[in-house]
Chain A
Amino acid sequence: MSAPKDPATQIAAADPVEQAVWKALRTVEDPELPVSIVDLGLVYAVSVEDGEAVIDIILTYSGCPACDLIVMDAEKAVQAVSEVETVTVDIVHSPPWSFERVTDRGRHRLNQHGLTVPDGEALRDPECH
């Protein structure tokens, strides 16, 4: 399976209802980091057809103890979109998540919290406070 496109490209290509779903997902944070699951690159796909929203999410690693929380938070956020009637969140396993999926905004947020995101061979310096 080929890698999903980055969130910005996917959001730009989405229809208005799907864009609203992406916006709702942006409010869902990883329970262990104050960063949106969209900016961490965990949302692989969003589709809405006839009010049925289907979201594909990957976990940063399979033992992630926050799995159920992320799924519940995502369902709740998307359910609040007025055009959405049902929400299905599928945990996917391929292609593997990597740091390359983290958006610039996500990198900035992680930097602000003192975490450096590996970026190819060069590592960015975290902002230390």
Chain B
Amino acid sequence: MSLDELTTANRTAVLEFLLALADDDFVAGHRYTDWTAVGPTLEEDNAISSMAQDELGHARIWYDLISQHHEGNIDDLAFNRPAEERRNSVLLEVEHEDFAYAIAHNYLYGTAEKRLLETLLDGKVDAVADRAEQILDEEPYHREHAESWLDRLVATEEGRDRLESAFRDALPRAADLFTFDDERVTQLMKAGVFTKDPVILDQEWNAEVCERIADLPLGITVDEADELLSQPPERNGRAGEHTDHLTSMIDEMHADNLAGEHPISQTLRT
């Protein structure tokens, strides 16, 4: 089935969901690029830059599909939307205070994204399911990266302190990762676009990450992690509620000679 064969309401709902996935990838990719040339080791510099490239590639895949049913092309969707029109999780837009943030974010996002993509994997819309499959194929490396760094960071006291701070700060912001409009989720389940209920995947994800974090020698218990993660999000990025960090990121893209100010992007806006 193609997106065109869906009812207008279902198509709007699925495009809105895909926009959230695209914006997640785009913003995550940009935050990873902040580490390019300043990574803790040369090998890590390569690894995180490569992950940035993957995330931007995944954003391109979704923006490309969305642009076929939306005003503006890929560049317009990526660069020329104000913060309030973005649907990425607030988790991903916040600047990384130190490298532990990059790892905490990568871990939380990587495990959540896997489950979000799994909702689409066996769905009826081929264009969506095929893309989800390709992205899922390319993501295991990101989770391996996060896992290996979690173990590496907790090997020293400084690493443990920084990682604990990063998780305490990141968990409440990760609360919006699955906070999609319930009505639309039900609608997409009925239409066969979602094959797994994101609400259930959220519960499974929550249990998985709380257990993993509690297993690390950080002084965060399962209950504490759960409490930090389970509060209603202060800002829900899925509803366009964002921090100043996102506005700064978009402003930076539009600074002199950068992507948003590129003649091509300018032509699109006029």
Binding site for B on A (CB under 8 A): 1, 61-65, 67, 91-94, 96
Q: A93 to B58, Cβ gap below 8 A? A: no
B137 touches A (CB below 8 Å): yes
Cβ distance A53 to chain B, nearest Cβ, rounded Å: 21
Cβ distance B128 to chain A, nearest Cβ, rounded Å: 10
Q: How many residues of B contact A (CB 8 A)?
A: 18
When A and B form their complex, what is the total count of cross-chain residue pairs whose Cβ atoms lie within 8 Å?
39
A-B interface, 7 closest residue pairs, ranked by CB to CB distance from nearest: A63-B57, A94-B130, A62-B57, A63-B53, A93-B130, A93-B134, A63-B54
Binding site for A on B (CB under 8 A): 53-58, 60-61, 64, 126, 129-131, 133-135, 137-138
Q: B130 to A64, Cβ gap below 8 A? A: no
- In the bound assembly, the distance between CA atoms of A67 and B74 in angstroms comes to 14
Residue of A63, A65, A94 near B58 (CB, 8 A) is A63
Residue of B54, B55, B56, B131 near A93 (CB, 8 A) is B131
Q: B61 to A65, Cβ gap below 8 A? A: no
- In the bound assembly, the distance between CA atoms of A67 and B58 in angstroms comes to 13
* Residue of B with least CB distance to A97: B134
Residue of B56, B61, B134 near A96 (CB, 8 A) is B134
**Contact A65-B53, Cβ < 8 Å, known A93-B61, A94-B130:** yes
> Which residues of B lie under 8 Å from residue A92 when comparing CB positions?
130
- In the bound assembly, the distance between CA atoms of A67 and B129 in angstroms comes to 21
Q: A62 to B60, Cβ gap below 8 A? A: yes
Q: B56 to A63, Cβ gap below 8 A? A: yes
Q: B134 to A62, Cβ gap below 8 A? A: yes
Q: B57 to A1, Cβ gap below 8 A? A: no
- In the bound assembly, the distance between CA atoms of A67 and B60 in angstroms comes to 11
Pick from B56, B58, B131, B137 the residue with the most CB of A within 10 Å.
B137
Q: A62 to B130, Cβ gap below 8 A? A: no
* Residue of A with least CB distance to B61: A62
> Which residues of A lie under 8 Å from residue B61 when comparing CB positions?
62, 93
* A-B contact list, 16 entries, CB within 8 Å: A62-B57, A62-B134, A63-B53, A63-B55, A63-B58, A63-B138, A64-B57, A91-B64, A92-B130, A93-B61, A93-B131, A94-B126, A94-B129, A94-B134, A96-B134, A96-B137
> Which residues of B lie under 8 Å from residue A61 when comparing CB positions?
54, 57, 138
Q: A94 to B138, Cβ gap below 8 A? A: no
- In the bound assembly, the distance between CA atoms of A92 and B55 in angstroms comes to 18
Cβ distance A63 to chain B, nearest Cβ, rounded Å: 3
* Residue of A with least CB distance to B53: A63
Cβ distance B95 to chain A, nearest Cβ, rounded Å: 23
Cβ distance B47 to chain A, nearest Cβ, rounded Å: 14
- In the bound assembly, the distance between CA atoms of A93 and B126 in angstroms comes to 10
Residue of A62, A91, A94, A96 near B54 (CB, 8 A) is A62
- In the bound assembly, the distance between CA atoms of A96 and B135 in angstroms comes to 10
> Which residues of A lie under 8 Å from residue B60 when comparing CB positions?
62-63, 67
Cβ distance B264 to chain A, nearest Cβ, rounded Å: 12
> Which residues of A lie under 8 Å from residue B57 when comparing CB positions?
61-64
* Residue of A with least CB distance to B56: A63
Q: A94 to B133, Cβ gap below 8 A? A: yes
Cβ distance B27 to chain A, nearest Cβ, rounded Å: 16
